[in-house]
């Protein structure tokens, strides 16, 4: 078990935090009519997972990019762009239903490709490029949708967000599939090894034959693709292409990745760890909702968790260097 955790970079601390959070929420959340805690109901469990699915997929994108010592601040905005692009194609332009999927994934990947192109060719720092994209993608989403939600998607699309095959919401299956494939890619393929090496020591990666530019480009495209998938799920869940979808989600996604053990400075990261991190954020958000904590305070809490997670990591690595 310990060996498994070590190999997957999952921290015992993050598991402990998750367990602790669950206990706290279970004890402090209000009770239902029949006396059980709301937090512990099956319905609430699905609520947590549903909410987690959207930014959990974003967090996977964040993990790839951050593990290679990059950053993607545009994740939430690109989610919104993907959401309206898919919906506009199907609802406004009356194309077949699957264009909601094609459109969302293509819009996300394209935004990621633009990020990657400017980072690798223009040598502009990633946080500037993706911060710019945060504004551009959100603006584009508002332009495409004229600032209003694009409502009324066909059933085939809604299935991806609202159906419950075998009683489990579809987004949970999508998250599981995306996480499994991503774990395979990051932990077990040359591409994944090169990603971590690139984040660890770029010149070493280059000297040993890794095509650093291509690698970076692909990582930003993966990140964009994840935002596209998350945007698609969002659209399907609320039956709307929403230009404000995913607002501030990059905060959740990056925090989930960092809590999950991804090194902000690159070289270390695991998808399974990120999934634990995403669950922590999901439980935290859900519990605060149940306790009727206002959204403004929730934003503050999440921001504080991000800073605390990086701070702790810094303290820890300083300890590591000391001996």
Partner 1 sequence: MSILELSGVEKNFGAVRVLNGVDLNVSAGEVVGLVGDNGAGKSTLMKSITGVYSIDRGKVAFDGKDITGSEPGARRDLGIEMIYQDLALAPQQDVANNIFLGREPTKRLFGIFPSFVDKSRIDAEARLMLDRLGVHVPGIDIPVGMLSGGQQQTIAIARALTFRPKLVIMDEPTAALAVREVESVLKLIGQMKEDGIATILISHRLNDVFEACGRIVVLRRGDVIADLNRSETDMSEVVSYIVGANG
Give the residues lining the site for partner 1 (CB under 8 A): 184, 188-194, 196-197, 200-201, 203-211, 263, 267-268
**CA 262, CA 69: separation in Å to the nearest integer?**
10
- Residue closer to partner 1 (CB basis): 223 or 263: 263
Q: How far apart are CA 13 and CA 307, in angstroms?
A: 16
Between 43 and 203, whose beta carbon lies closer to partner 1? Answer: 203
Least distance from partner 1 to the Cβ atom of residue 210, Å? 6
Inter-residue contact 77 to 129 (CB < 8 Å): no
- CA dist list (Å): 132 to 72, 75, 101, 114, 303: 11, 12, 25, 11, 21
Give least dist CB 197 to partner 1, A.
4
Q: How far is the CB of 37 from partner 1 (least distance, A)?
A: 41
CB of 190 to partner 1, least distance (A): 4
- Distance, CA of 148 to CA of 241 (rounded, Å): 9
Q: Which is nearer to partner 1, 19 or 204 (CB)?
A: 204
Q: What is the DSSP letter of 293?
A: -
Query: Judged by CB, which is closer to partner 1: 63, or 85?
Result: 63
Cβ proximity to partner 1: between 203 and 294 the closer is 203
Minimum CB separation of residue 225 from partner 1 in Å reads 18
**CA dihedral angle for residue 152, residue 157, residue 162, residue 165, rounded to 10 degrees:** 150
Closer to partner 1 by CB, 37 or 193: give it.
193
C-beta closer to partner 1: residue 167 or 209: 209
Q: For residue 152, give the H/E element and its range.
A: none
What distance in Å separates the CA atoms of residue 299 and residue 305, rounded to the nearest whole number? 10
CB of 216 to partner 1, least distance (A): 15
Minimum Å gap between C-beta 206 and partner 1 is 6
Residue 7 Cβ vs partner 1, minimum distance, rounded to whole Å: 9
CA dihedral (124, 129, 131, 135) in degrees, to 10, reads 140
The counts of H helices and E strands in the chain are: 14, 2
Residue among 180 and 291 whose Cβ is closer to partner 1: 180
- On the CB side of 272, CA atoms within 13 Å amount to 14
What is the C-alpha to C-alpha distance for residues 251 and 255, in angstroms, rounded to an integer?
6
Residue 150 host element (H or E) = strand 150-151
DSSP 240: E
């Amino acid at each position: 078990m310990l060996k498994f955790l070590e190999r997957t970079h999952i921290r015992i601390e993050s598991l402990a935090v998750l367990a602790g959070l669950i206990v706290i929420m279970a004890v402090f959340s209000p009770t239902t009519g029949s006396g059980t805690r709301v937090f512990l109901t099956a319905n609430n469990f699905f609520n947590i997972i549903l909410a987690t699915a959207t930014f959990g997929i974003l967090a996977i994108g964040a993990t790839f990019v951050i593990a290679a010592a990059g950053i993607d601040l545009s994740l939430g905005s690109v989610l919104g762009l993907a959401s309206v692009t898919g919906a506009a194609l199907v609802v406004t332009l009356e194309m077949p239903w699957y264009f909601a999927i094609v459109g969302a994934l293509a819009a996300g990947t394209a935004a990621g490709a633009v990020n990657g192109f400017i980072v690798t060719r223009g040598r502009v720092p990633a946080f500037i490029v993706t911060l710019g994209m945060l504004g551009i993608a959100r603006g584009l989403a508002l332009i495409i949708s004229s600032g209003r939600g694009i409502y009324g998607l066909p059933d085939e699309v809604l299935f991806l967000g609202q159906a419950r095959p075998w009683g489990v919401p579809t987004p949970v299956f999508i998250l599981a599939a995306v996480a499994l494939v991503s774990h395979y890619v990051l932990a077990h393929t040359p591409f994944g090894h090169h990603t971590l090496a690139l984040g660890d020591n770029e010149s070493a990666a280059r000297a040993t034959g890794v095509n650093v530019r291509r690698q970076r480009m692909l990582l930003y495209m993966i990140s964009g693709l994840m935002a596209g998938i998350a945007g698609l799920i969002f659209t399907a869940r609320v039956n709307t292409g929403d230009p404000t979808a995913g607002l501030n989600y990059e905060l959740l996604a990056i925090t989930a990745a960092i809590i999950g053990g991804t090194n902000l400075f690159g070289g270390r990261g695991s998808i399974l760890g990120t999934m634990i991190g995403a669950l922590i954020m999901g439980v935290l958000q859900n519990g605060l909702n149940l306790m009727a904590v206002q959204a403004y305070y929730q934003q503050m809490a999440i921001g504080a968790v991000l800073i605390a997670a990086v701070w702790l990591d810094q303290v820890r690595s300083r300890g590591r260097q000391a001996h």
